């Protein structure tokens, strides 16, 4: 969800206003995702590197998340959305941590759409955590393989993403799902996140549908 800051700056507003607008947009995109029948949606809300932003912006983002959980979780629950958190809980203020845990517990049996919220998330940290967990379980070197690493990631039990969309014209993964993205299709658009609407999501899905996915095999022999 990139480009909130630029969206605000272009209007002479503080960056936090862009994050608020971006959050409004998430609500719209989520509705469209449910409508389009998307089963799992993962949003990159706050990276482990984002703590280095100015204090005012970090506090603004934390306060938006607190507000969103309070206001939106009951509505998401009614829509059948299951919330999950991808990331480390360390550094997240205790009250917010409690809110996150309650939201996960409340929605855990919902199945219409899984919404993974990557918050205090880093792809390398995720892989490090998975390897640490394997070591802590006493895994032997032979037991460390692609499947065992996958099953210790924050996304354990979920399929790898099919499509990764990045807004605002950047051409980087920026530490997002770096393990899971091995064969994901990548889509970028110059549109800033607050302006990324239902039509754009549809265009991204249409583009995705026209791709030929080969998973390292030869044309016409893909495993799907
Ligand atoms: C939102 O966009 C991403 C978050 C970290 C919440 P940015 O804040 O990165 O916006 P730009 O890139 O400065 O425009
Ligand atoms: Mg950015």
Report the pLDDT averaged over residues 34-58. 97
What are the structure tokens assigned to 100, written together?
A: 């996150």
Residues 142-152 have pLDDT tens digits of 999 999 999 99
Q: For atom 5 of ligand 1, which residue has the closest CA?
A: 46
Q: Is residue 212 part of a domain?
A: no
How many separate domains does the chain show?
A: 1
Mark 104-128 as b/e (b = at least 16 C-beta within 10 Å). eeebeebeebbbbbbbbbbbebbee
Given 25, 50, 160, 207, which residue is catalytic? 50
Instruction: Check if 21 has its Cβ closer than 6 Å to any atom of ligand 1.
Output: no
Determine whether 50 is an active site residue: yes
Average pLDDT of the chain is: 96
pLDDT in the model for residue 223: 52
66: containing domain = 4-207
Q: Is residue 10 part of a domain?
A: yes
Q: Is residue 44 part of a domain?
A: yes
Element (H, E) at 87: none
Instruction: Check if 112 has its Cβ closer than 6 Å to any atom of ligand 1.
Output: no
Instruction: Check if 2 has its Cβ closer than 6 Å to any atom of ligand 1.
Output: yes
- CATH number for the domain that contains residue 63: 3.40.1180.10
pLDDT in the model for residue 209: 96
pLDDT in the model for residue 221: 60
Determine whether 2 is an active site residue: yes
Report the pLDDT averaged over residues 91-111. 97
In ligand 1, the atom with minimum distance to the C-alpha of 192 is 14
CB atoms within 10 A of CB 130: 20
pTM > 0.85: yes or no: yes
Asked if the model's pLDDT at residue 192 lies above 70, the reply is yes
């Amino acid at each position: 969800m990139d480009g909130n800051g630029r969206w605000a700056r272009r209007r002479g507003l503080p960056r936090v206003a862009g994050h608020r607008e971006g959050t409004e947009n998430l609500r719209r995109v989520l509705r469209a995702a449910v409508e389009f029948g998307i089963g799992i949606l993962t949003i990159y809300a706050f990276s482990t590197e984002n703590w280095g932003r100015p204090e005012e912006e970090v506090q603004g983002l934390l306060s938006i998340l607190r507000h969103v959980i309070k206001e939106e979780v009951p509505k998401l629950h009614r829509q059948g959305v299951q919330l999950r958190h991808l990331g480390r809980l360390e550094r997240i203020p205790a009250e917010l941590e409690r809110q996150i845990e309650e939201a996960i517990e409340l929605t855990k049996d919902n199945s219409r759409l899984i919404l993974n919220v990557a918050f205090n998330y880093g792809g390398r940290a995720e892989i490090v955590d998975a390897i640490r967990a394997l070591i802590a379980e006493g895994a032997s070197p032979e037991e460390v393989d692609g499947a065992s690493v996958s099953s210790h990631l924050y996304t354990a039990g979920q399929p790898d993403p099919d499509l990764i969309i990045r807004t605002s014209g950047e051409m980087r993964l920026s530490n997002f799902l770096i393990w899971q993205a091995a064969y994901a299709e990548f889509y970028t658009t110059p549109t800033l996140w607050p302006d990324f609407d239902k039509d754009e999501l549809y265009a991204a899905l249409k583009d995705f549908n026209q791709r030929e996915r080969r998973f390292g095999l030869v044309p016409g022999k893909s495993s799907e």
